[in-house]
Amino acid sequence: AVCSMGNSTSRLYSVLAKTLSSGAVSQHQDCLEQLDSAQLDPIDPRDLLEECQIVLQKRPPRFRRNFVNLKKNPASNHRPIRVMQWNILAQALGEGKDNFVQCPMEALKWEERKCLILEEILAYKPDILCLQEVDHYFDTFEPLLSRLGYQCTFFPKPWSPCLDVEHNNGPDGCAMFFLKERFELVNSANIRLTAMKLKTNQVAIAQTLKCHETGRLFCIAVTHLKARTGWERFRSAQGCDLLQNLKNITQGAKIPLIVCGDFNAEPTEEVYREFSNSSLNLNSAYKLLSPDGQSEPPYTTWKIRPSGECRHTLDYIWYSQHALNVTSALGLLTEEQIGPNRLPSFNYPSDHLSLVCDFSFNQDPDRLL
C-alpha cells in the first residue's frame, strides 16, 4: 500500500485531518514507521497553526503566558537554545483511567485536544521538544513535526497502562524532537531504567547533539519516572540509574547536559536531592523564577480526581550550571487562569503545564567545574 501524506499543492487541513482518527494508527502505523521524513514536503508552521485554530474556533482562546528574562550576563554571541518540557497526557489515560471529575469528556476529544497541544508547541517554537505520555506518536506527532523540520525519536514504555484501555492507540512513552537546521545528532541512547537491579516500566531518551552555530556538544535527555505515593524509593533508584547513565554519556559532565522530565516527585523527595547534589553539577531551571532563586514553583500540575484536588510540583528542566545559562523561562499559569475546575479543560489540553527555557553556553565552562 502507498501511504500519501499529501503534497505541496494540497490543503494542509487534509494532512491534519488524517491524524484525527485514533483508528487510523492501526491502518497507517507500519507505513509511518517506514516513511523517510526527508521524502515528505515541509509545511509552514504558520499554516499548521492556522489549521489548528480553525478546528479550535469554538473553544476559548489560549492562555497568555509571558517569558521572564533571567539574563544577568553580557549578551551571548549565539542564538539561545529553546527547550520545551511537557507531559501532554496520554489520550487513552485521559479518556479511560485518569478520572478528571471536573473535566467534561467533550474537552478530551482527541480531534480538538490534539490541536490544543500543537497550538501550544507552535506558539513557543522550541528548538528541542521533550514530551511524556505520547500515545499518538506515529499518527500525529512524527508525521507533522518531521515536516516542520524536527528529527523525531520515540521510546514507548514496555508495559504501558494505555494498553489496558479499550480502543487505545498503542503504548505511551517518551518522545524527543530537535530542529535539524540547528543541531546534528552525534549519539542517541534509549534507556530502560532499572531499580534495585531490576528493569522497570519507565524509560528515558538521551541524545548528544552538536550545535551547528557554535560547534559545541551537549546532551539532552527526557524521562518519566514511576508515579504514585509509596513509590519514593523506587523513583530514587530510577533517578540514580538515570544519573549513572548520563555520567557515562557526558563523560562525567565534560559534555553539558539538560534533563527534562515528569519526575512524579516533589522537591522534598530523595530523587530530587540526588539530582541537586549530583556530581554532574545540575540546577533546576524553574527555581530561577523564584525571588531567591532557590524555590521551585508552587505547582506544575493541578487536577481534581475522585480522591480530591491534586496540586503538585513534579516537572523539571535540569541543566549543567557550570556550562549553561538560563536566559529566560516561560511563566506558569496563575490559579485564576487555571480556573476552579483545574486541568485539563477546554482551554488547556493536559493536566501538566508545559515548561519552556532558553539556554546559552557559558564562554568558559571548565572554570566553574
Rounded to whole angstroms, the Cα distance separating 321 from 84 reads 18
Nearest Cα neighbor of 259 from 296, 220, 211 is: 220
**Complete domains list, the chain, with CATH:** 104-133+176-364 (3.60.10.10)
Core vs surface per residue 101-128: b (16+ CB within 10 A) or e: eebeeebbebebbbbbbbbbbbbeebbb
To which residue does cell 534509549 refer?
190
Do residues 345 and 339 lie in contact, with contact meaning Cβ atoms separated by under 8 Å? yes
Do residues 300 and 267 lie in contact, with contact meaning Cβ atoms separated by under 8 Å? no
pLDDT the model gives residue 73: 60
Phi, psi for residue 120 in degrees, rounded to 5: -65, -45
To which residue does cell 490559579 refer?
335
pLDDT the model gives residue 28: 41
pLDDT the model gives residue 98: 75
β-bridge partners, 155: 174
Rounded to whole angstroms, the Cα distance separating 22 from 128 reads 26
pLDDT the model gives residue 365: 54
User: How close are the terminal C-alpha atoms of the chain, in Å?
Assistant: 55
Per-residue pLDDT tens digits of the chain, which is 369 residues long: 333 333 333 345 556 665 544 444 444 444 444 445 456 789 999 999 999 999 999 999 988 999 999 976 656 778 999 999 999 999 999 987 778 889 999 999 999 999 999 999 999 999 999 999 999 999 999 999 999 999 999 999 999 999 999 989 999 999 999 999 999 999 999 999 999 899 999 999 999 999 999 999 999 999 999 999 999 999 999 999 999 999 999 999 999 999 999 999 999 999 999 999 999 999 999 999 999 999 999 999 999 988 889 999 999 999 999 999 999 999 999 999 999 999 999 999 999 999 999 999 997 655 444
Q: What is the pTM of this model?
A: 0.90
pLDDT the model gives residue 101: 87
**What amino acid is encoded at 310 in this protein?**
C
